[in-house]
Amino acid sequence: MIRLLLTGLALLASAATASAALIAPQLGEARTERLVAPDGRAMAVERGFVRVPERRHRAAPEGVIELAVMRLRWADAPSRIVNMVLAGGPGDSGTGLLRGLSAARAAGLLDLMGGDVIAFDQRGSGRSRPSLALPERVPLPLEAEGSPALWLPVMADAARAAARQFAARGVRLASYTSAENADDVDAVRRAFGYATMHLWGRSYGSHLALATVRRHPGSVARLILVSPEGPDHTYKLPAQTDVVIARIAERAGTPELPATMRTVITRLLREPVTVEVAGPDGAAQRVTIGAFDVQWLTAQALGDPRTLATLPAAYREMAGGDFRRMGAVALAARSQWRLGSGMKYMMDLASHGSPARLRRIERQARTALLGNAINFPLMALRDAWPAVDLGAAYRKRVRSAVPTLILVGDLDARTPVENAREIARGLSHAQIVVVENAAHQFDLFGNAVLQPILREFVAGRAVTTQRVRVREIGFQR
């Protein structure tokens, strides 16, 4: 009996220790720098690391991850409000959003957000430890037109080799999920001692913000989602991409663009084109371009307004038989391809997609302009990584009464307006603002059209604006 009692007490003590590790994350290796705004106000920039368990969801937490964090605040007027800024990707550096800001821009950010600002490098990314960065190039073959059949074996071999290397270093890749990531968000909040937070998430950061509000509803006071990605939006719908391409064509003054694209792609399916272009060293290289090359490179271009702007001219040139521009892009893309981040693949593959969404993607890809290139190679590399599946409950719509502002560009083919509407159906206090002429990436904090809306929302006032217009993209025709 005594032995049982002692065993029970030991287990309770062990559980208490594990619980304490979860309840009281602390900031370590902290250092503070001082910035002075142009008007003389002093700001404090704090840097450090927050230690969190690598894997929480066991009888006792396992492993340790050190999250690189940064906090920006007024030195003489600390706020009880914190704005937690979540980077996208997955795998982009959160601290990179604050690192290197001029004093004027830092002060402007604090004034806009109305409180302290925290950003951190999510597990596996940036300066967090361990790093899951994979910067090594994995060149793709040049001698034949691009295709999943030709490229996937190369990509999958690289992914399996990376997974083995991480395992040899003791990294538990199965712990790199958005569920653990969401718990990290709340741990960072607690490490700095805030009762609640305003969550700002863009692209994958919005996906993570929604996971956080579901798992830690009492910790989130306000939610700002930009270029929104819901729980079941990791894989993109090809038909939605077609809708946005048609909208881009109208906005560019080239309504014939979708038909031109289909003509070019159909021709390349029948007969690939070989062009000679200058390589990185200036020497001439031959590259063969097929339909999938053009589909995949177009899918990549849709996210950035700078590359999006080139599409009408690029397709006009190809329709006329000139593939020099596309050849240079194809050569660069194949010779410089890399996995980039093991964290990215693990996060996205764990979120996965519902059976219904996977069926829609398969059906739509048969007739979509870009096929399923918008999801390449992510979906096809699922078996190459030791991915977990967060399950059907994770992919269900998030339901919350937290006041939410959703900003989405009407030229965004990666996280389209339909995403915002679907997400908002579960949020009883959500307001969608459609940003006309904005693609997936657009200036948020420095845009004079958007700043008043953001100020109103973070100040607790109702936002009634439904549409705004930003400067048009300068399309090349």
Q: Tell me, yes or no, whether 189 lies in a domain.
A: yes
pLDDT tens sequence across 153-189: 999 999 999 999 999 999 999 999 999 999 999 999 9
3-class SS at 346?
A: helix
| Of 338, 359, 384, the domain-final residue | 384
Q: Tell me, yes or no, whether 407 lies in a domain.
A: yes
Residues 65 and 48 in one domain: yes
Number of domains in the chain: 2
pTM: predicted TM-score of the whole model, two decimal places: 0.93
* Structure confidence at residue 57 as a pLDDT band (50, 70, 90): confident
Q: Tell me, yes or no, whether 2 lies in a domain.
A: no
Q: Tell me, yes or no, whether 306 lies in a domain.
A: yes
Q: Tell me, yes or no, whether 106 lies in a domain.
A: yes
Domain membership of residue 365 as a residue range: 148-168+235-384
Q: Are 308 and 302 in contact (CB under 8 A)?
A: yes
Look at phi and psi of residue 137 and say left if phi exceeds 0, alpha if psi is from -120 to 50, else beta: beta
The Cα–Cα gap between 440 and 305 comes to 8
Residues 378 and 410 in one domain: no
The Cα–Cα gap between 433 and 468 comes to 7
pLDDT of residue 203: 98
- Other C-beta atoms lying within 10 Å of the C-beta of residue 282: 6
Could you tell me the CATH number of the domain that includes residue 68?
A: 3.40.50.1820
Tokens 């979860």 appear where?
A: 22
pLDDT tens sequence across 408-444: 999 999 999 999 999 999 999 999 999 999 999 999 9
Residues 202 and 311 in one domain: no
pLDDT tens sequence across 7-28: 343 443 344 334 434 447 888 8
Q: For the CA atoms of the chain, what is the radius of gyration?
A: 24
Exposed / middle / buried, residue 136 (Cβ in 10 Å: 0-12, 13-18, 19+): exposed
Q: Tell me, yes or no, whether 3 lies in a domain.
A: no
Residues 208 and 284 in one domain: no
Average pLDDT of the segment spanning 273-280: 90
Q: Tell me, yes or no, whether 210 lies in a domain.
A: yes
Residues 413 and 373 in one domain: no
The Cα–Cα gap between 423 and 71 comes to 29
Residues 270 and 218 in one domain: no
Residues 374 and 422 in one domain: no
Of 45, 184, 46, the residue nearest 125 (C-alpha)? 184
| Of 384, 410, 442, the domain-final residue | 384
pLDDT of 365 above 70: yes
Residues 331 and 450 in one domain: no
Compute the mean pLDDT over every residue in the chain, rounded to the nearest whole number: 93
> Who's near 305: CB < 8 A, 6+ residues apart?
411, 438, 439, 441, 442, 473
Residues 116 and 226 in one domain: yes
pLDDT of residue 59: 66
Q: Tell me, yes or no, whether 333 lies in a domain.
A: yes
Exposed / middle / buried, residue 218 (Cβ in 10 Å: 0-12, 13-18, 19+): exposed
The pair of structure tokens assigned to 471 is 């400067």
Of 243, 238, 245, 233, the residue nearest 203 (C-alpha)? 233
pLDDT of 5 above 50: no
180: amino acid identity, one letter: E
pLDDT of residue 33: 94
Residues 255 and 358 in one domain: yes
Q: What are the DSSP calls for 98-120, one per residue?
A: TTT--HHHHHHHHHHHTSEEEEE
pLDDT of residue 4: 37
Residues 205 and 286 in one domain: no
pLDDT tens sequence across 205-263: 999 999 999 999 999 999 999 999 999 999 999 999 999 999 999 999 999 999 999 99
Average pLDDT of the segment spanning 328-348: 97
* Structure confidence at residue 357 as a pLDDT band (50, 70, 90): very high
Residues 304 and 370 in one domain: yes
The Cα–Cα gap between 214 and 207 comes to 11
| Of 344, 360, 384, the domain-final residue | 384
- Give the single-character DSSP code of 93: -
